[in-house]
Structure 1
Amino acid sequence: MKLFQAESLTLSRSVVAIGAFDGVHRGHQSVIREMVRKGNLEGVPTVVYTFSPPPRVYFQGARTLTSPEQKLTLLERLGVTHTILAKFDEEYVKRTALEFVEELSRINPKCMIVGDDFRFGNNRAGDVSLLKSYFNVQSINPICCARGERISSTRIRELIVKGKQEQVLPLLGWM
């Protein structure tokens, strides 16, 4: 897997998954596996576009579930070809939604996979419908655990705070 900074990768075609992917939990893994499957089917490179630190950590001071190094290792194990690790800082958050779209155009996504609640750009101005006006976008519905609850980084953090490690491990799926 090759690592890139924001705005430094150019590809003629790709399949892309975008998200914070903090924890690379089972929900994230299903998104990434679907991206890798589509990339293999199309014969094009796969790209995970992610952030360091994750936006929720930057804005809300949330606990980080995986270090950038752990995240990259887990993404590589899932078969990702390229990862863009955008430095999520004061300068990055000023970018407009259209600037983000322009950057994505440089990797020519044949298909893009995002969560159904994905937002981007300054003040979260961009959403899935805006992306769909520029790219072929597949939004993924939430992945749930056996008890029917949504698997999310927020839920995992809450379980950690409550000391419920035995419930965290199955949600992560990699420990």
Structure 2
Amino acid sequence: MPLTFDTISTTLSRLQHDETPTDGRSPAAVAMILAEGPLGLQLLLLERAADERDPWSGNLAFPGGRVEAGETLRQAAERETREEAAIELAAARHLGRLADCVGAHMPVRIACFAYGFGHEPPAVTINHESRDAFWANLADLADRGRHVSTEVHFRGGSMTVPAIRLPQPDKPVLWGITYRLVMQFLQMHGLI
């Protein structure tokens, strides 16, 4: 049975969220943007620009960032998406929120909000924070043949991590927090 926005929304509505965590981590929020494509649902990924001040420099990510004073988590995800990808999420269907993800190497707590665009993906115009934006098919992300353990570089060191190799040969592997959010999404919908 194909995955639909209705089934995603129903699944995400079952999750409970701690709106006031006390773990001392900095709150941040991202948008997982889905669109209907010719091969089924696809997911927007940004390839971050090279920047020595950015610990996630060059990695694949969802649009998002830190929460500003007076913002809710969802407002932060929507603002960051507007700034980083020129996408107005008010035009999309809000599908719900995944379980929060905490940084393994950075003191952050990421809230991830899912949105769906029907029929065709929105136009994307990236800002200086990204090198590229592209759509990845969920089927490719769920393909176990693409799931690997690989060495990545982070904050001056290297480590071996679980990752997904994308079909685009010029793209880095998907790993880290974005990988964990994608895996959570795929698992909760029975895609892997």
TM-score range, shorter chain: under 0.3
Q: Which structure carries more relative contact order (alpha carbon 8 Å, separation 6+)? A: 1
Q: Which structure's residues are more often helix, by fraction?
A: 1
TM-score, normalised to structure 2, is 0.25
Q: TM-score, normalised by structure 1?
A: 0.27
